[in-house]
C-alpha cells in the first residue's frame, strides 16, 4: 500500500491503505475532525487494484483487509470513499471481538441511549441523523457496540451514509458532508461526518434505555416487543453474536431484560421522528 491513513472511530482504530492517493485523501478529509487515532490499528482496510492494469485503465478498487469475504465486486475508483466505508464495515463485522456488534443506529440524550435496529432501508440512518440535528448525541448509524462486561452501549460514530431521497431530507448543522457519489450499487450516496459534540463525546458510553425496531414506509403502528422476540431479532441483527459465544448470549439476555423494546412502523420521516420522540417521552 503506497498511501495510508489511520482513523479512530470510538474504540476502534482503522488503517486505510490504498494504491491510489484519492481514496485515502477522501477518507482523511471526511475524518479530519475525529479524535486522534492510535499509531497501531485494530483493523486494516486495503483498497487495491484487482488486477495490476486496473490501476490505470478504468481503475477499479477491490476491498480487502485483515478479514475477507469471497465474491466482493470491485468498485470504480471514483467510489473509493464508499469502498473504504464498506471495507471498515466488513472488517468490523468479521474481526471485532471486544463488543457485541448490533447492526443498529444509536443516539443518546441525558446519558441514556436509544438503539434502533432493522434491515437496510428501515430508516436507521435518516432517523439517527435527524435526531442528532434535533439535539440528540449521535452515536452511530451502522453498529452499536454492546460491552459484555458492563452492558453499556459504546459509540461508533462513523459518518452517516445517506442514500437517495435522504440526502436532501437531512439538514444537520455542524455535520460535514463528503462528496456526492452517484451511480453506486446503492444509488446516490453522501456521507455526513457527525458534529463536533458527537465526536467529542465518542469515548463516553451510555446505558441503553429503549430498543426500537423501526420500519419506514409502512402504515403507522406501535407495538411493544416482548423480550424473547427482541432477543431473537437482535441475534439476527448481530454480526458477531456466534463468535462471542456465551459472553454474547449473556450480554443480549441482560439487554433485553433491562430495556423495553418497541416496533415502530411509520409512513414518512416526519411521523417517524414524532413517534420516536413520543415513545422516549412516554
Point out which residues bind another protein (CB under 8 A). 226-229, 231-232, 235, 241-242, 245-246, 249-250, 253, 256-257
All three cell numbers of 63: 476491498
d(CA 87, CA 67): 10
All three cell numbers of 204: 463516553
Please, what is the minimum distance in Å from the beta carbon of residue 245 to another protein?
6
Of 200 and 242, nearer to another protein (C-beta) is: 242
DSSP classification of residue 53: G
Please, what is the minimum distance in Å from the beta carbon of residue 257 to another protein?
7
Please, what is the minimum distance in Å from the beta carbon of residue 241 to another protein?
8
Supply angle C-alpha 175, 177, 179, rounded to 5. 170
Supply angle C-alpha 181, 217, 125, rounded to 5. 40
User: For the CA atoms of 210, 11, 5, 102, what is the dihedral angle to 10 degrees?
Assistant: -40
Closest alpha carbon to 136 in 119, 165, 160, 118: 160
CB 9 within 8 A of CB 36: no
DSSP letter string, 185-224: TTEEEEEEEPPHHHHHTTT--BEEEEEEEEEETS--EEEE
Of 200 and 253, nearer to another protein (C-beta) is: 253
Of 30 and 251, nearer to another protein (C-beta) is: 251
Please, what is the minimum distance in Å from the beta carbon of residue 263 to another protein?
15
At 200, phi and psi to the nearest 5? -65, -30
Of 226 and 267, nearer to another protein (C-beta) is: 226
Please, what is the minimum distance in Å from the beta carbon of residue 59 to another protein?
43
Please, what is the minimum distance in Å from the beta carbon of residue 101 to another protein?
16
Of 138 and 241, nearer to another protein (C-beta) is: 241
Of 146 and 189, nearer to another protein (C-beta) is: 146
Of 232 and 278, nearer to another protein (C-beta) is: 232
Residue given cell 440524550 in the structure block:
109
Please, what is the minimum distance in Å from the beta carbon of residue 226 to another protein?
5
Supply angle C-alpha 173, 176, 177, rounded to 5. 115
All three cell numbers of 178: 463528503
Amino acid at each position: 500500500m503506497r498511501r495510508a491513513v489511520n482513523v479512530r472511530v470510538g474504540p476502534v482504530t482503522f488503517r486505510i491503505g490504498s494504491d491510489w492517493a484519492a481514496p485515502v485523501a477522501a477518507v482523511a478529509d471526511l475524518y479530519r475532525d475525529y479524535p486522534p487515532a492510535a499509531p497501531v490499528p485494530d483493523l486494516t482496510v486495503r483498497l487495491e487494484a484487482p488486477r495490476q492494469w486496473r490501476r490505470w485503465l478504468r481503475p477499479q478498487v477491490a476491498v480487502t483487509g485483515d478479514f475477507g469475504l469471497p465474491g466482493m465486486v470491485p468498485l470504480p475508483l471514483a467510489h473509493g470513499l464508499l469502498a473504504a466505508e464498506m471495507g471498515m464495515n466488513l472488517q468490523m463485522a468479521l474481526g471485532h471481538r471486544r463488543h457485541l456488534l448490533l447492526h443498529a443506529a444509536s443516539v443518546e440524550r441525558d446519558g441514556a441511549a436509544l438503539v434502533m435496529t432493522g434491515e437496510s432501508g428501515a430508516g436507521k440512518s435518516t432517523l439517527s441523523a435527524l435526531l442528532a440535528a434535533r439535539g440528540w448525541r449521535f452515536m452511530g448509524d451502522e453498529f452499536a457496540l454492546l460491552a459484555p462486561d458492563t452492558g453499556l452501549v459504546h459509540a461508533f460514530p462513523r459518518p452517516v451514509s445517506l442514500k437517495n431521497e435522504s440526502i436532501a431530507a437531512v439538514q444537520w448543522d455542524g455535520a460535514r458532508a463528503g462528496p456526492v457519489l452517484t451511480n453506486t450499487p446503492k444509488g446516490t450516496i453522501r456521507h455526513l461526518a457527525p458534529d463536533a459534540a458527537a465526536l467529542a463525546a465518542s469515548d463516553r458510553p451510555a446505558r441503553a434505555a429503549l430498543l426500537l425496531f423501526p420500519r419506514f414506509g409502512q402504515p403507522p403502528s406501535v407495538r411493544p416487543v416482548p423480550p424473547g422476540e427482541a432477543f431473537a431479532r437482535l441475534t439476527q441483527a448481530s454480526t458477531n453474536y456466534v463468535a462471542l459465544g456465551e459472553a454474547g448470549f449473556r450480554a443480549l439476555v441482560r439487554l433485553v431484560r433491562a430495556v423495553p423494546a418497541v416496533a415502530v412502523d411509520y409512513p414518512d420521516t416526519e411521523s417517524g421522528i414524532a413517534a420516536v420522540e413520543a415513545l422516549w417521552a412516554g
